[in-house]
Every structure is written in structure tokens, then in C-alpha cells.
């Protein structure tokens, strides 16, 4: 493949997402230029495969034997893809013409860029940022994730404030461009996460290895969000809290681990109490179950931390807010990144 069109594979992981494929795959096929389009299927039972075979014979199918979840599903799928760049794209994303070019051009100009994402707007309210990714992902000092354009549940209107090219901490798994060789070099996504925050963990490991994670606001896509697990589902609460704590434990430098872990656990308990008082009893229980799961599998997470911690001094990592977004949002009532 020539310099102008390096081999790019857009890989959509599907599990019983027929309605999303029907609605959004036509835009991906029509608007992705020279990219190869691949659907990796996690053993769907909703007719997704017959639909693809009949209506999109040009789309390559990777058929997985069971539902491996987001993380291991992509790990197994990308092991079967021979490309320079892979785009992990959710099935509920609508893409406009030319959406891949600005990002591929940027990554071609700088070999140290391992990961990049476009601007993520809400498909149903395209004037606003979407929860998963928005204008590029950041972390605070306790590894709480947030985005330029989104603090907790507050979404900013897109007024061009993030029409930039900016190094960030993490790129959303809803639309993540990654160098295929780096993905394999770093061992792919953490399989024990199953889904949620896996992209933050991957980007943290990429940064520890000396790579950059970028946001390019010259490209945009439109994401529905909650296509597999709605945010009101206690399973999503469980995964977010368990993976959030595991993310912190796996990756934070040893000198910061003890205090950060203590504060993070206390804040999680406060969140569980708020849920319980609000009548969200299943969500409150999910937080406690998440912590219990971390304790039960403590040996696994200790081993993963040892395997993946960088040797020697930690490199300087951009994209970390040195304060607490929990404090800023809930106590000081800050609602946008510009106010932090």
C-alpha cells in the first residue's frame, strides 16, 4: 500500500447488533475511502451474519466462537487482521465522508503516535459532544476519566472549542485508530476488563512505552452510545467501578499507589451511598460487588501490574489533571474542562 493510502482496516465488533448494522454500516462502507471494512462477530444469534452476507458481501467477516466481550473479542479479531492501522469502531457510529483521512495523515507524519481519535458527537443531538470520548480523554490524579467536552453527566455544546489537534491521555474505544504493530506489541486490550475502560488502560500502557495518544478535531463521527449496555444497567455500573479501580491499581506509579487507592475506594463508597439514598439499590450493590471482585482476584491484578509496569523511572505523561474532578464537579460545581 502506498504512502498516501496505507492499509487501514475499520473493524466493527458486533454482538447481536443487527439494528445498528442496518442503520450505520452503510455510512461506514460508503464513506471510508480505501479502508478495508471488517465485522468481527461475537457469536451473534439475531440474524446479523445472514444480513451481512446478503447485503454487504464486500465486508469481510471474522466469526468468533462465543461472546468474548469487547476486549478479548477485539484481541482475537485483530490477530487475524494484517494492516498498518486498525480502527476500532462501535457498531452504533455514523461516519461522514473523509472521516479517516485527517487522522491517518497525522499518524503518518509522526511515528510516535500510537493512538488517535476524532471528535465524537452525539448522533441524536449532533450539536453536542457524546459521552464516550467527546473531545479527547483525560484523567485526574485519582484516575477518574473525563473528556474535553464532558465532565461526568454534563455534555458541552460543540462550538468549535475543540477543533484542534491535541495530545490527550486516552482515546475512546468507540472510535480508536491504533497502529496495528503497537497494539500487538503491547498485548492488546486487558481481557479481564471484558468491556469499559479498556481503552484507557491500553492508552496508559502506550504512554508508559513512550508513545503519544492524540485527538484530531478535524475529523468527526456521530455516536449513539449505550448500544450494548445502557448506562442505567447495574452491570455497566459494576464494570465501570471494577475496571476503574483495576485501572488505577495496574498503572499508577508505586509511590502514588497507596494514597490514591485509599482515596479512590472511599470516594467509590460515597458514590454507592448516594446511589442507595437515590433508590438505585442495584447500582449501589454493584459498586460493592466490584470492590469484592478486585479483592477475590487480587493475585491476578498484582501479576498484571508487575508485568505491565514500566521499568525504571516513569516517563512524563501528559493529559493528567493534578486535582480531583470529583471535588471540582460535585463540590465546586465546575461543569466544563475550561473551568478546571
Question: CA dist 294 to 74, 155, 309, Å?
Answer: 23, 31, 18
SS3 157: strand
Question: Quick one: pLDDT at residue 2?
Answer: 46
Rounded to two decimals, what is the model's pTM? Answer: 0.94
Cα gap 280→50, rounded to integer Å: 40
C-alpha cell at 192: 479481564
**What are the residue ranges spanned by the domains of the chain?**
8-223, 234-309
Cα-based torsion angle of the residue sequence 231, 148, 139, 195 in order, rounded to the nearest 10 degrees:
30
What pairs with residue 147 in β-bridges? 137, 150
Between CA 18 and CA 299, with CA 201 as vertex, the angle to 5 degrees is 110
Radius of gyration in angstroms for the set of CA atoms belonging to the chain, rounded to a whole number: 19
Q: Which residues pair with 177 in a beta bridge?
A: 87, 116
Strand pairing category for 36-41 and 8-14: parallel
Q: How far is CA 149 from CA 153, 154, 225, in A?
A: 10, 8, 15
Handedness of CA 181, 177, 77, 96 (dihedral sign): negative
Whole-number pLDDT of residue 226: 62
For domain 8-223, give the CATH number. Answer: 3.90.550.10
Tell me the Ramachandran region of residue 150: left when phi exceeds 0, alpha when psi lies from -120 to 50, beta otherwise.
Answer: beta
Helices (H) and strands (E) in the chain, counts: 11, 14
For residue 273 the three cell numbers come to: 451511598
| Alpha helices by DSSP H, the chain | 18-31, 48-55, 69-78, 101-109, 180-185, 198-208, 234-251, 254-277, 281-296, 298-308, 325-326
Copy the grid coordinates of residue 16.
447481536
In tens digits, the chain (340 residues) has pLDDT values of 444 679 999 999 999 999 999 999 999 999 999 999 999 999 999 999 999 999 999 999 999 999 999 999 999 999 999 999 999 999 999 999 999 999 999 999 999 999 999 999 999 999 999 999 999 999 999 999 999 999 999 999 999 999 999 999 999 999 999 999 999 999 999 999 998 999 999 999 999 999 999 999 999 999 998 655 556 689 999 999 999 999 999 999 888 899 999 999 999 999 999 999 999 999 999 999 999 999 999 999 999 999 988 766 555 677 889 999 999 999 999 999 999 9
Q: What distance in Å separates the CA atoms of residue 306 and residue 301, rounded to the nearest whole number?
A: 9
Separation between Cα atoms, residue 336 and residue 76, nearest integer Å: 38
> Which residues are 216's β-sheet partners?
118, 165
Amino acid at each position: 500500500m502506498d504512502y498516501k493510502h496505507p492499509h487501514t482496516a475499520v473493524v466493527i465488533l458486533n454482538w447481536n447488533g443487527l439494528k445498528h448494522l442496518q442503520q450505520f454500516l452503510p455510512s461506514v462502507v460508503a464513506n471510508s475511502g480505501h479502508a478495508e471494512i471488517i465485522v468481527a462477530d461475537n457469536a451473534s444469534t439475531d440474524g446479523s451474519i445472514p444480513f451481512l452476507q446478503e447485503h454487504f458481501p464486500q465486508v469481510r467477516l471474522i466469526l468468533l466462537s462465543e461472546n468474548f466481550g469487547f476486549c478479548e473479542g477485539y484481541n482475537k479479531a485483530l490477530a487475524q487482521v494484517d494492516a498498518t492501522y486498525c480502527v476500532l469502531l462501535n457498531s452504533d457510529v455514523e461516519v461522514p465522508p473523509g472521516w479517516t483521512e485527517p487522522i491517518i495523515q497525522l499518524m503518518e507524519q509522526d511515528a510516535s503516535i500510537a493512538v488517535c481519535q476524532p471528535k465524537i458527537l452525539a448522533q441524536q443531538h449532533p450539536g453536542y459532544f457524546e459521552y464516550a470520548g467527546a473531545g479527547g480523554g483525560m484523567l485526574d490524579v485519582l484516575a477518574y476519566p473525563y473528556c474535553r467536552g464532558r465532565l461526568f453527566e454534563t455534555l458541552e455544546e460543540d462550538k468549535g472549542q475543540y477543533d484542534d489537534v491535541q495530545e490527550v491521555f486516552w482515546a475512546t474505544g468507540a472510535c480508536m485508530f491504533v497502529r496495528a504493530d503497537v497494539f500487538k506489541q503491547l498485548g492488546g486490550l486487558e481481557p479481564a476488563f471484558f468491556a469499559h475502560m479498556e481503552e484507557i488502560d491500553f492508552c496508559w500502557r502506550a504512554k508508559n512505552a513512550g508513545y503519544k495518544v492524540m485527538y484530531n478535531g478535524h475529523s468527526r463521527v456521530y455516536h449513539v452510545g449505550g448500544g450494548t449496555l445502557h448506562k442505567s444497567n447495574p452491570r455497566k455500573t459494576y464494570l465501570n467501578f471494577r475496571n476503574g479501580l483495576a485501572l488505577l491499581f495496574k498503572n499508577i506509579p508505586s509511590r502514588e499507589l497507596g494514597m490514591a487507592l485509599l482515596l479512590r475506594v472511599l470516594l467509590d463508597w460515597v458514590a454507592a451511598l448516594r446511589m442507595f439514598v437515590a433508590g438505585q439499590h442495584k447500582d449501589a450493590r454493584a459498586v460493592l460487588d466490584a470492590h469484592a471482585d478486585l479483592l477475590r482476584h487480587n493475585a491476578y491484578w498484582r501479576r498484571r501490574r508487575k508485568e505491565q509496569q514500566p521499568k525504571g523511572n516513569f516517563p512524563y505523561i501528559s493529559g493528567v489533571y493534578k486535582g480531583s474532578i470529583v471535588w471540582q464537579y460535585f463540590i465546586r460545581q465546575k461543569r466544563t474542562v475550561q473551568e478546571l
